[in-house]
Amino acid sequence: ERSSSYATTLTNLAEAFKLKGDAGKAIELYRQVLSIDAETVGEDSPVYAIALGNLAGALQAQDGDPAQAADLYQRALKIQEATVGARAPDYATTLADLALVREAQGELAEACRLLEQAMEVKASSVGVETQEYAALLNDLAVIVKKQGDIPRAVDLYRQASVIDAATLGKDSEGYANTAYNLGRALEDLGSLEEALGKYEAAAAAELASGAGEPQASTAEAVSRVRASLGR
């Protein structure tokens, strides 16, 4: 069968295989989707651009070689710019995906530029009080921390933490992750008292989210900082 509905079914199946860790099978299915989309909607369609992005993500997950993934994301961006426009949420998503590829390639400055561009588009299209925007803040914080700009990483994690608290709640896994990362950045900055508070907030969120107990890394961080503070 070579229909759009069949391509959608294959896409869903590919995503399931990718989640299970079988990137090879996901790649095989995504390639079939690309072939069908080329025939049914054309290679200049935003649907085809999304299929390119899906294949790029699976390729990167399989072998960790970002070069081919980067090429596919760049092709997708050209199609999206010509069809949905450079201010569309899907365009921003592809920018962010390409940014993570550039990070993997060690091109941290370019990764930052792409994420900042994606954030600008998301801010105007879906808003800054959304999980989509918070995810970009977190991604950018990781990269600027790698660059050694700890104060900026702290600021970005703070912004993401506020959004997570408002959208997910302080008893969510997402809030716990951001609070922990903020704690790490604050600890690196030497702000131990505040770092401890964030680690404890992360531990409380992990308990409340149904984990049963805090993650080992969170519990260790709480103990480590308490010891440093003489408690």
Render each residue's pLDDT in the chain as its tens digit; 231 residues. Answer: 788 899 999 999 999 999 898 989 999 999 999 999 999 999 999 999 999 999 999 998 877 678 899 999 999 999 999 999 999 999 999 999 999 999 999 999 999 999 999 999 999 999 999 999 999 999 999 999 999 999 999 999 999 999 999 999 999 999 999 999 999 999 999 999 999 999 999 999 999 887 667 889 999 999 999 999 998
Tell me whether domains 1-126 and 130-231 share a fold: yes
Q: Where are the domains of the chain?
A: 1-126, 130-231
Q: 137: closest CA among 119, 164, 111?
A: 119
Residues 6+ apart with CB under 8 A from 30: 10, 11, 14, 51, 54, 55, 58
Domain 1-126 has CATH 1.25.40.10: yes
Q: What are phi and psi of 223, to 5 degrees?
A: -65, -40
Rounded distance between C-alpha atoms, residue 45 and residue 61, angstroms: 25
- 130-231: CATH topology is 1.25.40
Q: 52: closest CA among 61, 41, 43?
A: 43
Residues 9-44: tens digit of each pLDDT = 999 999 999 989 898 999 999 999 999 999 999 999
